[in-house]
Amino acid sequence: MSDVSLICDQALNSFLELVRLHHEIRNRGLKLISRKLESQVNEILEANSKDLKVATKMVEDGEIASSLLDRLKLDESKIKDISDGVIAVSKLEDPLNKIQMTTMLDEALQLDRLSCPIGVIAAIFESRPDALVQIASLCIKSGNVVILKGGQEAFNTNLLLTQVITSALIDAGLPKGIIQLLEGRKDVRSLLARDDAIDLLIPRGGNDFVRYIKENSNIPVLGHTDGICHLYIDADADEEMSVNLTIDSKTQYPGVCNAIETLLIHKDVSKKLLPSILKALKEKNVEIRGCKKTLSIFPDINQASETDWKTEYLDLIISVRIVESLEDAISHINKYGSRHTDSIVTNNESSAEKFSLNVDSASVMLNASTRFADGFRYGFGAEVGIATDKIHARGPMGIEGLITYKYRIIGNGQCVSEYSGKNAKKFLHKKIL
């Protein structure tokens, strides 16, 4: 169990030091993290091996899902990818102290809006050690400090990665306490009570977990619950593209939140396209649960229930529904989806535009796999998570999601009294930027 109070206080003090440092010092720290990750591959793999043994036993005992093992496992190639990701973050433009807006309130009275870090971030995430490095690197780049809490099944790996990152940052001249790791589950409850020190909570996990975080803390929460994503095949869809995008969106990595859980297809092309699509899914060992109309075309599948339309499987399972129209597909997505990522396959520009404007999701794909909904693939370098709420940040959260702003007025001795009363001066309110 960690001393959560001490960790929070240290994080707050570290933030006040970090925010004063030049961005080149932060970049120096990121580059050194990358080098140390590659130089300590063997140690990282050894720690990861210990975790995999524990996690395998937890799967056998029914404590965690088997899909988590894939997320947990590291190898040399994955560590190289993680290291390259840190370098990619270091090459991003410095996001701090950028003038976002300038207004001349009056002559010699200027209002600026400046970008600045949020402050102290607490990130609670699932069994993905790569997520720890991604979150840490984005926080460093954006001038935030972060308190991390990973799953117990990844404890040894997360601990070693935190030690590697901390060592690199200290060697680079950054203050101690920028990155800290909580050790026990009980620490989370203590963390949730520290709204005096923590500015933002980012939970990454299941629906129940995120809801628990939101209900048990006064700290602002940014995250998503379910990833109930859809692929809709329109009446004007290409057959080969429909098959390829269905397979990629469902099977390329089924245990993640941007994999599709439901396939929707227009009735006018269902008899023509469904057999080849469902056959391709079967060949990938996907369990198919279809509506009654789907069963009439492809009877060798299970019937879908109402529950299936609102279930995140995170597995090789998919629900399939034949819809009457584009409008019917949009209505289904907005009713059963989780506002994460949804895609349309169509050659009709009008349908694509209507889908794009009317589907209320953080990411909308037009003739592209839902698996593109990712911070790295969006060019953010990495992501701290995916937000499906509409406040502050939405979709894959990169640097911009960790930035807020403050206002600055530059004057020359002006007083508000000059702009009040009978002979009050008038504001210019001239927009410059």
pLDDT in tens, 338-355: 999 999 999 999 999 999
Rounded to 5 degrees, φ, ψ at 375 are -60, -40
Mark 396-414 as b/e (b = at least 16 C-beta within 10 Å).
bbbbebbbeeeeeeeeeee
Q: Are residues 220 and 198 in contact, defined by beta-carbon separation less than 8 angstroms?
A: no
**pLDDT computed for residue 276 by the predictor:** 97
**pLDDT computed for residue 1 by the predictor:** 63
Contacts of 3 (CB under 8 A, 6+ apart): none
Q: What percent of the chain has pLDDT over 70?
A: 99
Q: pTM (2 decimals)?
A: 0.86
- The first and second tokens of residue 25, run together, are 């010092």
| Cα dihedral: 43, 46, 50, 56 (round 10) | 130
Please state the rounded mean pLDDT for residues 385-398: 85
Q: 148, exposed or middle or buried, with CB in 10 Å at 0-12, 13-18, 19+?
A: buried
Structural domains of the chain, with CATH: 4-221+398-406 (3.40.605.10), 229-372 (3.40.309.10)
* Mean pLDDT of the chain, nearest integer: 94
Please state the rounded mean pLDDT for residues 63-89: 90
How far, CA to CA in Å, does 423 sit from each of 38, 415, 418, 428, 430? 69, 14, 8, 16, 21
